[in-house]
Chain A
Amino acid sequence: MQPDVKLADPAKRSMLLTALYIAQEQYGYLTKDAIERVAKRLGLPVTDVYSMASFYTLYRTKATGRYVLQVCEGLSCHLVGGADRLVDYLCKKLRIKVGQTTEDGLFTLQTVQCLASCGTSPAMRVNDALYENMTAEKVDELLETLRGYHV
């Protein structure tokens, strides 16, 4: 039987966003199992939880590399020669296309919308960290540092 959402404690459902973050942290991404567990714990239909996971862009429903590189493709990043150039450079350097993961499982490349770093563009995020005023040299340095953790 499906639990009646209307009767559920409203504050309990408010924990859903946080619960999905925790599940994502534990599972690496939101697997079917992770979503079902969150649904069970909060007494919500699985479809409701999945619908949340697919609505918000920070939830991942597919496996990614250890580091998710998110390049901002907003107008302010583009105007200063960011976005395209940065993405092209990363594609060449990592030998992957946008949306793909490197063979060693270290890097996934994505493009994202405005990161609110328009005054310090081009900008990109690596997992939770923000990198601003990016150049090819800085990208090289960054990739080298991250690779260094996994030698």
Chain B
Amino acid sequence: MFEKVLTRNFSLPRSETINVYMANGGYQALPKVLREYPPEKVIKTVTASGLRGRGGAGFPAGRKWSFLPKDADVEKYVCVNTDEGEPGTFKDRELVEKDPHQIIEGTIIASYAVGAHRAFVYIRGEFFLGVKRWIKAIDDAYAKGFLGKNILDSGFSLDLSVHRGAGAYICGEETALIESLEGKRGEPRMKPPYPASVGLWGKPTLVHNVETLANIPHIINRGAKWYKSIGTPKSTGPKIFCISGHVKNRGIFELPLGVSLRELIYEHAGGMAFDKQLKAVIPGGASTPMLTAEQLDTTMDFESLEAAGTMLGTGAVMVMNEDTCMVDAARRLMRFFAHESCGLCTPCRTGTQRMLDILERLEHGEGKPGDVERLEEIARGIQGLTFCPMGDAAANPVLSGIKLFRDEYEYHIKNKRCAVAASRP
């Protein structure tokens, strides 16, 4: 059986406290790093572990670290991305609420490796308990001397503070997050330059998702070789999967990357609720293209999902049964994207609204011939033409939905009603 890594303390009472964290092996990686590891060795170890970003893009963490300039005179920053908002995803909230010190330890080690002395937590404004947990955890870490000046007599100093967002999904995108931290509207920046060279206040900045940072102490404690033994050759380590929708047991499941979708749904999540048939699965959050019941043997890792035409994203699996209307599902997802488009790039701002209009029309029996083609045309007109990946993300539910369930869309237009509802007795 797989031994839990990131969620190992979740079931302990008061798992969010520094005492419980330290009683279970916490803050042992930090002194080890500060005493024995020069920064280059930390970067080398993380690179060797194969750790890839857990926020959606899956970029190799060690490589991201190595992009920051080595010059000690250059001021650098680290941002801890807790702006979780991708529909279907709820792992970061749990990580922060149940074991924040693991993330703090990872953040300190990452800051030491890249030579940053100032780090910022950017947390979603809605996460009120999360904000409280972050503040308390940071205070306790200061009190024990893990943060502040001259940490554990190493000569390394780091300050960490919490900044609360105010309700904008887009601020989970790293350059929008930086803009928001600077006190501006969360509108993504054109890349390049990437934050590693020009980030917060124009300085080199490392932005990481909390789950990525939570992996760091474990990699230091148990070594890159151990870490690589979990998962697949190209997708190493444990992953927190979030399962929602029509399964018996919804929730988070920590498993090695490379677990099959079938095992995840039928063994860990207990299978389909009410013994209904599975119709479609969104494997990595609202931004990722759907899969069908025939694709359940696809394994949950970066490369296999890419080969299947979709993405691992945040590892948020949304399961839909035979009674789900795929036009309605797409409409719900599009409401999200239309609401969350920051409005900077015209294709995304106008395209999401136009797609939503058509989907609402279809759902209400007012679809017109040619609407399916119109949806495809608009979706393709967004792809690749926006500053940030949200434009592509918004096109995915529509394009993948039409590709897999075109007949349902056509049925809506022809019969002014839903095929799923019509098939019910």
CB under 8 Å from chain A, chain B span 307-327 = 316, 318, 320, 324
Given the complex of chains A and B, what is the CA–CA distance between A118 and B286 in angstroms?
A: 12
Size range of the interface on A? 35 or more
The answer to whether B324 touches A17, judged by C-beta atoms less than 8 angstroms apart, is no
Is B100 interfacial (CB-CB < 8 Å)?
Answer: no
The answer to the question of A52 belonging to the interface, with a C-beta cut-off of 8 Å to chain B, is yes
Alpha-carbon distance between A119 and B243 when the two chains are bound, in angstroms? 6
**In contact, B336 and A113 (Cβ under 8 angstroms):** yes
B237 to chain A, nearest CB (A): 22
Known: A18-B164, A58-B167. A75 touches B246 (CB 8 A): no
Interface size on B, residues (CB 8 A): 53
For the complex, is B185 an interface residue (Cβ under 8 Å from A)? yes
Distance between Cα atoms of A58 and B166 in the complex (Å): 5
Please indicate the chain A residues that have their CB under 8 angstroms from the CB of B48 in the complex: none
Q: Are A116 and B329 interface neighbours, CB within 8 A?
A: no
CB of B329, distance to nearest CB on chain A (Å): 6
B182 and A10 within 8 A (CB): yes
Which of B88, B167, B245, B335 is A73 in contact with, Cβ under 8 Å?
Answer: B335
B168 within 8 Å of A (CB atoms): yes
Which B-chain residue is minimally distant from A18 (CB atoms)? B164
Q: Is the CB of B244 within 8 A of A121?
A: yes
Contact mask for chain A residues 14-36; partner B; CB cutoff 8 A; 1 contact, 0 none = 11111011000000000000000
Is A146 an interface residue, CB under 8 A from the partner? no
| Bound Cα distance A116, B87 (Å) | 7
Which single member of A11, A15, A21, A79 contacts B245 (CB below 8 Å)?
Answer: A79
Q: Is B128 an interface residue (CB 8 A)?
A: yes
Q: Which residues from chain A contact B93 at a C-beta distance below 8 Å?
A: 116-117
Given A74-B332, A118-B316, A129-B128, A55 and B89 touching (CB < 8 A)?
no
> Does chain B have a CB within 8 A of A136?
no
Q: Which residue of A lies closest to B185 (CB)?
A: A55
Fill in one digit per residue for A99-130: 1 if any B CB lies within 8 Å of its CB, else 0: 00000000000000111111111000100111
> In chain A between 39 and 60, which residues have their CB closer than 8 angstroms to a CB of chain B?
51-52, 55-59
Kindly name the residue among A10, A57, A117 whose own CB sees the greatest number of chain B CB atoms within 10 A: A57
B257 to chain A, nearest CB (A): 20
Could you say which of B129, B167, B252 contacts A56, with CB atoms under 8 Å apart? B167
A13 lies within 8 A of chain B by Cβ? yes
Residue of A17, A79, A117, A121 touching B164 (CB-CB under 8 A): A17
Asked if B318 and A10 make an inter-chain contact with CB atoms under 8 angstroms apart, the answer reads no
Q: Which of B102-110, B119-127, B140-148 touches A?
A: B119-127
Q: Shortest CB–CB separation between residue B125 and chain A, in angstroms?
A: 5
User: Is A116's CB under 8 angstroms from B124's CB?
Assistant: yes
Contacts A118-B316, A130-B129 given: A113-B251 contact, CB under 8 Å?
Answer: no
Are A58 and B244 in contact, with the CB atoms below 8 A? Answer: no
Q: How far is the CA of A56 from the CA of B335 in the complex (A)?
A: 17
Report if A114-B183 is in contact (Cβ < 8 Å); known contacts: A79-B318, A120-B250: no
Contact residues in A for B185 (Cβ distance below 8 Å): 51-52, 55
Q: Is the CB of B182 within 8 A of A58?
A: no
Which residues of B are found within 8 Å of A129, using beta-carbon distances? 128
The residues of B that contact A80 with a CB separation of less than 8 Å are: 245-246
Does A78 lie at the interface of the complex (its beta carbon under 8 Å from any beta carbon of B)? yes
Q: In whole angstroms, how far apart are the Cα atoms of A56 and B339 in the complex?
A: 11
Contact B88 A56, beta carbon cutoff 8 Å? no
Please report the C-alpha to C-alpha distance between residue A128 and residue B181 in the assembled complex, in whole angstroms.
21
Q: Are A57 and B182 in contact (CB under 8 A)?
A: no
Please report the C-alpha to C-alpha distance between residue A115 and residue B184 in the assembled complex, in whole angstroms.
Answer: 23
CB of A131 to closest CB in B, whole Å: 12
From A129, which residue of chain B is reached at the shortest CB distance? B128
Query: In the complex, which residue of chain B has the Cβ closest to the Cβ of A114?
Result: B87
In the complex, B391 has a CB within 8 A of chain A = no
Near B by CB (< 8 A), chain A positions 54-99 give 55-59, 73-76, 78-80, 83
A16-B183, A76-B318, A118-B88 given as contacts; is B125 within 8 A of A56 (CB)?
Answer: yes
Q: Are B339 and A79 in contact (CB under 8 A)?
A: no
What's the Cα separation between A10 and B318 when bound, in Å? 41
- Which residue of chain B has the shortest Cβ distance to A83 in the bound complex? B332
Bound form: Cα–Cα A116–B125 in Å? 12
Instruction: Name which residue of chain B comes closest to A19, CB basis.
Output: B183
Judged by a CB distance under 8 angstroms, whether B86 is at the interface is yes
Q: 20 A-B residue contacts at CB 8 Å?
A: A10-B182, A17-B166, A52-B185, A56-B166, A56-B167, A58-B126, A59-B166, A74-B87, A75-B329, A76-B88, A113-B85, A113-B87, A113-B335, A114-B86, A114-B286, A116-B85, A116-B124, A117-B90, A118-B90, A118-B245
Q: Give me the interface of A with B, judged by CB distance under 8 Å.
A: 10-11, 13-18, 20-21, 51-52, 55-59, 73-76, 78-80, 83, 113-121, 125, 128-130
Given contacts A116-B92, A118-B242, A118-B245, 11 further A-B contacts (CB under 8 A): A17-B163, A21-B166, A58-B126, A75-B318, A79-B244, A80-B246, A113-B87, A113-B335, A116-B127, A118-B318, A120-B90
CB-based closest 8 A-B pairs = A56-B166, A57-B167, A118-B244, A16-B183, A58-B167, A13-B183, A76-B244, A128-B128
